[in-house]
Structure 1
Amino acid sequence: MNTSFKREIYKFSHENIALYGLIVLIVTMIYNFFTKTITVQSLSYGFGAIEWIPLIVITVASAIFSMEYKNNTIIMLEYKTSHKFQIYFAKFLVVLVYSFLLTVIAFLLTLMLSMFFNNVRYDWLVTKNGNNLLNGLLANLAGALIYSFFSIGLSFMLIMLVKNNAVVVCFGIVLAFFGASFSRGLMQSFPNFISTIKWNFLNMIFISQQLSKPSLSLKSHLSSLELIIANIVYGILFMVLGYYLFKHRQV
């Protein structure tokens, strides 16, 4: 397993998709900083980073598998590895580490932009309503990281199911920008079944904001702890289903 992980780290670090994802994150954050009014909310959201990180992760996660099949390098991987699970799980870990690095970079860039280029200074440590701006940013980025775990599992399952990277990316975009609205629409349409519908996978996206704004539980109908647990459970479930499809996929 250690050998597979090192091999995937080496391959991933030399693939352009990893660099492109990082550039997209940095560019979108800088763009939001210079084109939108800076508020406490925009700072706590990392200038849009909490929305872009899971989207970048979905794109990267699906791409690293689709490229293996497109270039037929998956054949060599399976030949060199004694068990398919090592290939699958090593890739999962690599993308998870990548999402963590994106989160750290988003945190540092948010601080840099707000401290060096912002005329309106915000005190990150002033406590208001029992919370401060720094804790809010950390909570939102933590939520984005947990949602990235969910997104990796979902991407791996979808790329094995539909075998088309573009379809997976489009699904990720729809999920990122309309998932919460669809989920709320379902719960409003069937109020008698909210106790069940609230656990739908579209509702998991609320975690990227609710950890810093517990009041959003009125929309998600899930507590922050329930959202954390549900995201992790969904991520594991999708990962397992994805592995089953990968294991039985013909090269």
Structure 2
Amino acid sequence: MYTELRQELYKLSHRKLPWLIIIFMVALMVIIGLAMGRTYSNLLVMTCYDSSMVIMLLLVIVGSTIFSMEFQNETIIPLIYRSRGRGSVFFAKFVTLFLYDVILHIIAIMVTFLLNIVPIINNPVSWTAIYKYHQPLVINMLATTGVDLVTSSLIISLICLSSCLINSNTVVIAINALIIFMGSGLSSNLLLANVGPSRIIRWNPFNMLNLTTQYYNYATYHITSMLSNSQLLLGTICYVIIFTLLAYWCFQRKHF
């Protein structure tokens, strides 16, 4: 898989879109900081200026080009013929998207540090100040980033699955964007509607999208999700594995 992974990383690094999107992400982080004001300085730092949803949306856009565009343009066929097998191609694309996810989070952390050093839109904060979970703020930020990597991995697995089922790049972007924006609300409505036993319904995959937001705002989101942080983390990891395996199964049996 090393050769396939190197090819995918080369293609990603030589596209303009992934780099232009990073500029868009930084701009949105600044806008969010301006919108929330100086009252929420610690929270903005802990959440890297609420970059979680922005990163997930960017992953949908870039991820659709890695998978769906290749299906749509049929460039996947020569790629498979030149590789050792479909499995190598699939997991090379999955790992590439995950590595891009890590890069986006690292850049978000760097921008957060920069905005704290140059307090144009935010008050300077003490990185050692005790904040959530009786931990220093810098630990809160790193922990939130780690948690969000798990949450965004769920989106990556959904991108892979939907791309293997649907060849249209536009449709894949639309479906996953709707999941990001409406998934949490849909889960909440299911739980409030009492359509089934809440002990089972609360484990639906849409509820796992609450993982990051509940971590930094437990009091509010725990009431909605009806799961603890550790339960959400466990559920998210399980769904990542399930959706990734389903995507791999679909990819292996897809006709080109």
Indicate if the aligned counterparts of 1:53 and 1:144 stay in contact, CA closer than 8 A.
no
Q: Which residue of 2 aligns with 1:188?
A: 192
Write out the 4+ residue segments of structure 1 that deviate beyond 6 Å after TM superposition: none
State the partner residue of 1:64. 66
**Quick one: which of 53, 56, 61 aligns to 2:55?**
53
Residue 17 of structure 1 and its aligned partner are, at CA, apart by 2.8
Instruction: After TM superposition, give the deviation of residue 192 of structure 1 in Å.
Output: 5.8
After superposition, the CA RMSD in angstroms is 1.9
Secondary structure of 1:199's aligned partner: coil
Tell me if structure 2 keeps the 8 A contact 1:115–1:121. yes
**Alpha-carbon separation, structure 2, partners of 1:52 and 1:110:** 14
Alignment map for 1:79-94 (pairs within 5 Å): 79-94=81-96
Tell me by how many angstroms 1:228 deviates.
1.5
* Maintained 8 Å contact 1:184/1:219: yes
* 1:25 equivalent in alignment to 2:22: no
Distance (whole Å) between structure 2 residues aligned to residue 190 and residue 140 of structure 1: 31
2:234 paired residue number? 229
What are the Cα deviations for residues 23-60 of structure 1, in whole angstroms up to 9, with x where unaligned? 22112112222344131323322222111112211221
Distance 1:211 1:233 in 2: 18
Percent identity for Structure 1 against Structure 2: 27
Any unmatched runs of 5+ in structure 1? Answer: none
Alignment of 1:170-249 (within 5 A): 170-190=174-194, 193-215=197-219, 216-249=221-254
Residue matched to 2:105: 103
Q: What does residue range 69-80 of structure 1 map to in structure 2 within 5 Å?
A: 69-80=71-82
Match of 1:229, SS state, is helix
The change in CA–CA distance for 1:47 and 1:18 in structure 2 (over 3 A counts) is same
The answer (yes or no) to whether the contact 1:28–1:48 under 8 Å persists in 2 is no
Rounded to whole Å, the distance in 1 between the matches of 2:251 and 2:23 is: 30
Number of equivalences: 251
Shift of 1:178: 2.1
Residues 211-220 or 222-231, more deviating: 211-220
Q: Deviations over 1:155-212 (max 9, x none)?
A: 1111111222222222222222222121111111118611011111111111112233
Distance in 2 between the 1:146 and 1:132 partners?
Answer: 22
- CA distance in 1: counterparts of 2:90 and 2:182, whole angstroms: 29
The normalised TM-score by structure 2 is 0.90
Deviation at 1:125, TM superposition (A): 1.3
Change (3 A) 1:165 1:201: same
Per-residue deviation, residues 192-243 of structure 1 (Å, max 9, x unmatched): 6110111111111111122334433232112212211211211121111112
Contact kept, 8 Å, 2:69 with 2:167, in 1: the verdict is: no
Contact in 1 for aligned 2:131/2:140 (Cα 8 Å): no
User: 1:35 and 1:228 mapped to 2: Cα distance?
Assistant: 30
